Amino acid sequence: MIISTAKRLLSLKEYYFSIKLAEIRKMQAEGKPVINLGVGSPDLAPSQPTIDALVEAAHHPQNHAYQPYKGIAPLRKAMADFYKQFYNVSLDAQTEILPLIGSKEGITHISLAFLDPDDEVLVPELGYPAYTAVSEMVGAKVRYYPMLEDKNWQPDFETLDSMDTSKVKLMWLNYPNMPTGARAEVETFEKLILFAKKNKILLCHDNPYSLVLNEEAPISLLSIEGAKEVCLELNSMSKTHNMAGWRIGWLNAAKPYIDAVMTIKSNVDSGTFLPLQAAAIEAFQNSEEWHKSRNAIYYKRREIAYQLLDSLQCAYTKDQVGMFVWAKIPENLQNSGELVDKLLYEKNVFITPGFIFGEKGNRHVRVSLCTEEKVLKEALERIIA
């Protein structure tokens, strides 16, 4: 006898990468040397002082106890200082910051805190699949808003203004955008805040990529005047500090919003392991030179990724931000899945099909830069052979 699952599972599918990575592992176990240029998990290590801080803190028996749900005060202060240094945003470390066990988890906490069944959620037509999955999981209705490819993938405000938003409670946005690499733009943020206030919508901005391959000053949504009235912003140490597996993210928002999410968090998970918090505090001390050094490695890798995409006759722009390159496939191919499977099964090279980020990505692919230069060169050689 098998007990039936909850109805919410009927609207959910197993995450694409979970399925595809299992297939890749099976191929590798069979002796096929698959090169994975799909998932954006940094292969670089955190700074040495970060690792040293983790090790040192782990040696103390008292540091292995349960921790406060809101994290320790020095961690929140380090997060506030980080926002002041890189985004020129002032945050109250006591009331406007909530450390999280990864920002992906924060998407669930926010959705549980603010969405009731049948509320509507605006989700970008190209974006992180978790925005849709979690919204549906809590019983909300997803409505996709269009992004304009010829306007650097910014939202289509003409369409947004024509929508009936009477049931919309929350709107997800993500700039620099994943998967397109589109930059954050002050004008876009200003328009979004006006839109949110006019329609009484909570703006939820996911901001993990703004320090990666960004030649302009990084922008926080919270730097825009009046943002705290209607905005939350998630950030993470995964990409900016090479700490993806450490699961350290945080939420920035006005106190009422933090308190609401804190109510959910305290009933769902726990405080972060103290040595991880100690290491995160040290990581926030990484100099601007450290960040430049990380980016220098990605710059070199990106040049090889450009060559790889050129060999596939894909089109792309060179002003993208983040650790990926987003590109359009040639006209003679039906969809990105066709190209991805051809590369995987004939060349043992895996890149990400754009359709997993939304239907509008059907004719796009994404290449990750989280692989050593020599491996990227090997992938290039296989493709052109």
pLDDT tens profile 359-376 = 999 999 999 999 999 999
Location of structure tokens 């890189």: 86
pLDDT tens profile 78-106 = 999 999 999 999 999 999 999 999 999 99
Check: CB of residue 127 under 8 Å from CB of residue 145.
no
The model carries a pTM of 0.95
pLDDT tens profile 321-333 = 999 999 999 999 9
Domain ranges of the chain: 7-45+288-384, 62-283
Nearby residues of 193 by Cβ (< 8 Å), 6 or more positions away: 203, 221, 224, 226, 227, 230, 231
- 188-191 contact pairs (CB < 8 A, 24+): 188/154, 188/155, 189/219, 189/221, 189/224, 189/227, 190/224, 191/155, 191/157
- How far from each other are the two terminal CA atoms of the chain, in whole angstroms? 53
Strand segments, DSSP code E, in 49-128 are 97-100, 120-124
Q: Measured between alpha carbons, how far is 50 from 280 in angstroms, rounded to an integer?
A: 7
Check: CB of residue 114 under 8 Å from CB of residue 138.
no
> What is the model's pLDDT at position 17?
74
pLDDT tens profile 117-172 = 999 999 999 999 999 999 999 999 999 999 999 999 999 999 999 999 999 999 99
Length of the chain: 385
7-45+288-384 CATH, one of 3.40.640.10, 3.30.750.200, 1.10.10.10, 3.90.1150.10:
3.90.1150.10
* Least confident range of 3-17, 21-35, 237-251: 3-17
Check: CB of residue 265 under 8 Å from CB of residue 108.
no
3-state DSSP helix/strand/coil percent for the chain, to nearest 5?
A: 45, 15, 40
| 290 burial via Cβ count (<10 Å: 0-12, 13-18, 19+) | middle
Structure tokens at 126: 């190209």
- Which one has a higher pLDDT value, 340 or 39? 340
Q: Which of 133, 235, 134, 143 is nearest to 184 (CA)?
A: 235
pLDDT tens profile 233-285 = 999 999 999 999 999 999 999 999 999 999 999 999 999 999 999 999 999 99
Q: Measured between alpha carbons, how far is 248 from 76 in angstroms, rounded to an integer?
A: 12
Nearby residues of 124 by Cβ (< 8 Å), 6 or more positions away: 131, 144, 145, 147, 155, 172, 173, 174, 177, 358
Q: Which of 210, 242, 209, 207 is nearest to 107 (CA)?
A: 207
Q: Measured between alpha carbons, how far is 83 from 234 in angstroms, rounded to an integer?
A: 12
- What architecture does CATH give domain 62-283? 3-Layer(aba) Sandwich (3.40)
Q: Measured between alpha carbons, how far is 33 from 347 in angstroms, rounded to an integer?
A: 9
Strand segments, DSSP code E, in the chain are 35-36, 97-100, 120-124, 141-145, 147-148, 154-155, 168-173, 202-206, 231-236, 249-253, 324-328, 349-350, 352-353, 364-368
Q: Measured between alpha carbons, how far is 190 from 223 in angstroms, rounded to an integer?
A: 10
Q: Which of 220, 253, 273, 326 is nearest to 102 (CA)?
A: 273
The pLDDT-based confidence of 15 (bands split at 50, 70, 90) is confident
